[in-house]
Amino acid sequence: MDARAQSSGLKLAHIKIACSNCNMRELCMPVDLSEADMLRIEEVVSSRRKVIRGDSLFNNGETFKALFAIRTGFFKTSFASPDGREQVTGFQMAGEVMGLDGIVNDHHTCDAIALEDAEVCVMNFDHIATLSREITGLQRHVHKMLSREILRENGVMLLLGSMRAEERLATFLLNLAQRLHARGFSSSELVLRMTREEIGSYLGMKIETVSRTFSKLVEDGIVEVHLRQVRILDADALKALTNPHSQ
Amino acid sequence: MDARAQSSGLKLAHIKIACSNCNMRELCMPVDLSEADMLRIEEVVSSRRKVIRGDSLFNNGETFKALFAIRTGFFKTSFASPDGREQVTGFQMAGEVMGLDGIVNDHHTCDAIALEDAEVCVMNFDHIATLSREITGLQRHVHKMLSREILRENGVMLLLGSMRAEERLATFLLNLAQRLHARGFSSSELVLRMTREEIGSYLGMKIETVSRTFSKLVEDGIVEVHLRQVRILDADALKALTNPHSQ
DNA sequence: CGCCGCATTGACGTTCGTCAAGTCTAGTGG
DNA sequence: CCACTAGACTTGACGAACGTCAATGCGGCG
């Protein structure tokens, strides 16, 4: 599959908002439900929202009212320290949910920026909470989404705390490829939607180091890189970089 | 207050298990409830469990059944990569809850080790889920606990991704002091319950760097350190290290 | 076509990791 | 009570990895 197809957001504005006929449903709402419950859950998706590339879906400090499920497009979330440093905390793609960090203080604590034109489902959180008191499957799903995010961040902490530059980048590329593959794209060919600087912020390295590390992977024949086009030539070698001490 | 008092775990084994008379309640279950609901919530705390220093409360891979609220004692949680590297993901003290990462896959994904003799409340998660369908305040509380953990980890990612050794240690010490202060201890005098190596794992630095960084803070007259006894002499200077670019 | 932002590459400096030696402390047993 | 020991901690010398500064290349967009 052409990696370019990643960006082909379907334009379905006229079709009824419905999880039941959404091709992302099994990713963002994998709940086994009766038809009646399904209809009720669709009420949660109160609206859709388009976000054009470069715009923010929400910003740090804004009142938290809803979670956002990505239908199409690609986002980064970033978290700022009081003195203005920025840490990209994640990259989100179709089927993934953003805004979970806003629950605790009733306002968002990070920024979500679209890295390509995107469309999201706006899911009113009070509504989710109400409904999940009645639909056990939805309740479980909410718990799991939150827990999954904790688990994901544990992985990032491990990466940031104990990996070298090359391992970090290898881990990052494999993770992206795996998630794209789960969405029906090639697992060896990908288009990076973010700049080197954003990759660097996420991986805790400077832009020059990101660039040099890419160049090293290319030299070693592990990947082909053309700016944001990446082709993984030797996935095994990439995986080997991921756990260098496992012998 | 003597920092030594941190370890004075009350021995109340004979007293009825009851959140209502637990001095940690406002930390771990800050929910405004009717007396009737309060009694029902106490059913959640099915039992207590003592863990002696060095033992694990749960391990990676074990089936997830319950969350654990710390009554007394001090824990670390650590997360291992496939090739055996370990990342300490957090240090938990009285009133804090562990095990949230286990929800998503029905089994724990990290280890929780007691760094001093401890007692925890075992809270059956199915029971929590059931009850939170009826008691809105509890449901909100569960959501907030999960979201708070995500927020906390965002902060650690920022630390690991963008801070220098000295900033990391300063941030770490201030965070510990603040949490101890919230529990009625001195905010300037603390006893580290963890080794330099565990601090290093948490902060993404080697043990020698941790040691050297402590020494630097001592040289600069910012803290006094006697092995695990730490006294903060100049909290402002420590805070200043925390955001060096804010000028 | 020309500009601007993104990316790459090189030279150099700093920070932190590595290796090694040595000190201190708490705990154990005589 | 003291000697002994193992583990925790500190300190120094050195080197590798990564950050910094600077110059240049390249593509996309107006």
Band of the pLDDT at A8, cuts 50, 70, 90?
very low
Q: Are A198 and A154 in a shared domain?
A: no
Q: Are B12 and B129 in a shared domain?
A: yes
Give residue A16's pLDDT: 61
Cβ A92 vs Cβ A98: under 8 Å: yes
Between B43 and A55, residue with greater pLDDT: A55
- Within residues 173-202 of protein chain B, the ones with CB less than 7 A from nucleic strand D are 192, 195-197
> Chain B: nearest CA to A11, how far in angstroms?
33
Q: Is the pLDDT of residue B9 over 50?
A: no
Among the three residues A160, A180, A195, which one is the final residue of a domain in this structure?
A160
Give residue B34's pLDDT: 86
Distance B202 CA to D12 C1' (A): 25
Q: Are A113 and A85 in a shared domain?
A: yes
Q: Are B187 and B150 in a shared domain?
A: no
* Residue B111 to residue B12: CA distance in whole angstroms: 27
CATH number at residue B58: 2.60.120.10
The number of domains in chain B is: 2
Q: Are B146 and B195 in a shared domain?
A: no
Whether nucleic acid strand C comes within 7 Å of the CB of A208, the answer is yes
Among the three residues B160, B175, B203, which one is the final residue of a domain in this structure?
B160
Q: Which of B191, B133, B206 is nearest to A162 (CA)?
A: B206
Between B20 and B157, residue with greater pLDDT: B157
Please list every residue in chain B whose beta carbon sits closer than 8 Å to the beta carbon of residue A203.
161
Please list every residue in chain A whose beta carbon sits closer than 8 Å to the beta carbon of residue B103.
143-144, 146-147
> How far, in whole angstroms, is CA B144 from its chain's centroid?
16
Q: Span B68-88, mean pLDDT?
A: 94
Q: Span B63-85, mean pLDDT?
A: 95
Residue B100: DSSP 8-state: G
Q: Are B81 and B126 in a shared domain?
A: yes
Query: Can you give the pTM of this predicted structure?
Result: 0.93
B139 Cβ under 8 Å from any chain A Cβ:
yes
* Residue B167 to residue B204: CA distance in whole angstroms: 12
> In a mutagenesis test of the B interface, which of A154, A198, A201 is the best target, namely the one with the most B β-carbons within 10 Å?
A154
Mean pLDDT of all residues belonging to chain A: 91
Q: Are A138 and A225 in a shared domain?
A: no
Q: Is the pLDDT of residue A165 over 80?
A: yes
Q: Span A138-157, mean pLDDT?
A: 97
B136 Cβ under 8 Å from any chain A Cβ:
yes
Q: Span A141-158, mean pLDDT?
A: 98
Q: Are A82 and A108 in a shared domain?
A: yes
Q: Are B123 and B189 in a shared domain?
A: no
Between A74 and A30, residue with greater pLDDT: A74
Give residue B16's pLDDT: 61
* Residue A62 to residue B111: CA distance in whole angstroms: 35
Q: Are A167 and A206 in a shared domain?
A: yes
Q: Span A197-218, mean pLDDT?
A: 98
Give residue B42's pLDDT: 86
Q: Is the pLDDT of residue A77 over 80?
A: yes
Q: Which of B153, B214, B246, B35 is nearest to A79 (CA)?
A: B153
Interface of A with B in 114-133 (CB under 8 A): 129, 132-133
Give residue B245's pLDDT: 66
Give residue A12's pLDDT: 42
Sorted by sequence, the CB contacts under 8 Å of residue A15 that are 6+ apart come out as A21
Q: Which residues pair with B232 in a beta bridge?
A: B223
Q: Are A121 and A222 in a shared domain?
A: no
- What φ, ψ does residue B63 adopt, rounded to 5°? -60, 135
Please list every residue in chain B whose beta carbon sits closer than 8 Å to the beta carbon of residue A103.
143-144, 146-147
Give residue A245's pLDDT: 67
Range of the domain at B40: 3-160
> How far, in whole angstroms, is CA B66 from its chain's centroid?
17
Give residue B3's pLDDT: 43
Q: Is the pLDDT of residue A26 over 90?
A: no
CATH number at residue A240: 1.10.10.10
Among the three residues B107, B133, B160, which one is the final residue of a domain in this structure?
B160
Please list every residue in chain B whose beta carbon sits closer than 8 Å to the beta carbon of residue A147.
100-104, 146
Q: Are B100 and B178 in a shared domain?
A: no
Distance A91 CA to C4 C1' (A): 26
Give residue A17's pLDDT: 67
User: Is the CB of B87 less than 8 angstroms away from the CB of A154?
Assistant: yes
Q: Is the pLDDT of residue A11 over 50?
A: no
Cβ A175 vs Cβ A218: under 8 Å: no
